[in-house]
Homo-oligomer: A and B are copies of this chain.
Amino acid sequence: MSENQTVRFGIIGCAGIARKVARAIKLAPNSTLYAIASRSIEKAQKFAGNNGLSGTVKTYGSYDQLLDDPCVDAVYMPLPTSLHLHWAVLAAQKKKHLLLEKPTALDVGELDQILEACESNGVQFMDGSMWLHHPRTAKLKEFISESNHFGQIDIIRSTSTMSVTQDFRESNIRVKPDLDALGALGDLGWYCIGAILWAKDYKLPTVVNALPDVTKNSAGVILSCTASFHWEPLDETVATIHCSFLSHTSMDLAISGRNGSLHCNDYIIPYQEKSASFDFTSGATFVELHIGWNVRPEEVRVISELPQEALMVEEFARLVKGIMKFGHRPDTKWPEISRNTQVVLDAVKKSIDLGCKPVRL
When the two chains form their complex, are residues B248 and A290 in contact, meaning their CB atoms are under 8 A apart? no
Q: Which chain B positions have C-beta within 8 A of A259?
A: 163, 248
Given A226-B155, A238-B226, A296-B271, does the pair A17, B248 have CB atoms closer than 8 Å? no
Q: How far, in whole Å, are A209 and B356 apart by their CA atoms in the complex?
A: 12
When the two chains form their complex, are residues B240 and A212 in contact, meaning their CB atoms are under 8 A apart? no
Q: Is A244 an interface residue (CB 8 A)?
A: yes
Interface string of A218-240 (1 = CB under 8 A from B): 00000010101010100011101
When the two chains form their complex, are residues B236 and A211 in contact, meaning their CB atoms are under 8 A apart? no
Closest 7 CB pairs of A and B: A213-B238, A154-B247, A249-B284, A250-B261, A247-B256, A20-B289, A211-B228
When the two chains form their complex, are residues B228 and A226 in contact, meaning their CB atoms are under 8 A apart? yes
When the two chains form their complex, are residues A250 and B289 in contact, meaning their CB atoms are under 8 A apart? no
Nearest-Cβ distance from residue A232 to partner chain B, whole angstroms: 7
| A residues at B contact (CB < 8 Å) | 16-17, 19-20, 23, 151, 154-155, 157, 159, 161, 163, 207, 209, 211-213, 215, 224, 226, 228, 230, 232, 236-238, 240, 242, 244, 246-250, 252, 254, 256-261, 263, 265-266, 269-273, 279, 281-286, 289-293, 296-297, 307, 309, 358
When the two chains form their complex, are residues B250 and A230 in contact, meaning their CB atoms are under 8 A apart? no
Q: Which chain B positions have C-beta within 8 A of A19?
A: 289
Q: Which chain B positions have C-beta within 8 A of A212?
A: 207, 209, 230, 232, 358
Given A269-B292, A281-B250, A297-B265, does the pair A155, B258 have CB atoms closer than 8 Å? no
Nearest-Cβ distance from residue A300 to partner chain B, whole angstroms: 15
Q: Which chain B positions have C-beta within 8 A of A230?
A: 211-213
Nearest-Cβ distance from residue A136 to partner chain B, whole angstroms: 14
- Specify the chain B residue showing the minimal Cβ separation from A283: B248
When the two chains form their complex, are residues B292 and A163 in contact, meaning their CB atoms are under 8 A apart? no
When the two chains form their complex, are residues B256 and A161 in contact, meaning their CB atoms are under 8 A apart? yes
Q: How far, in whole Å, are A297 and B309 apart by their CA atoms in the complex?
A: 23
Enumerate 28 A-B pairs (CB-CB under 8 Å) in ascending A order.
A17-B290, A151-B248, A154-B248, A155-B159, A155-B161, A155-B244, A157-B157, A163-B259, A207-B212, A209-B212, A211-B228, A211-B238, A212-B230, A213-B236, A224-B236, A247-B256, A247-B257, A248-B256, A248-B258, A248-B261, A248-B282, A250-B261, A265-B279, A266-B293, A269-B286, A269-B291, A271-B293, A291-B309
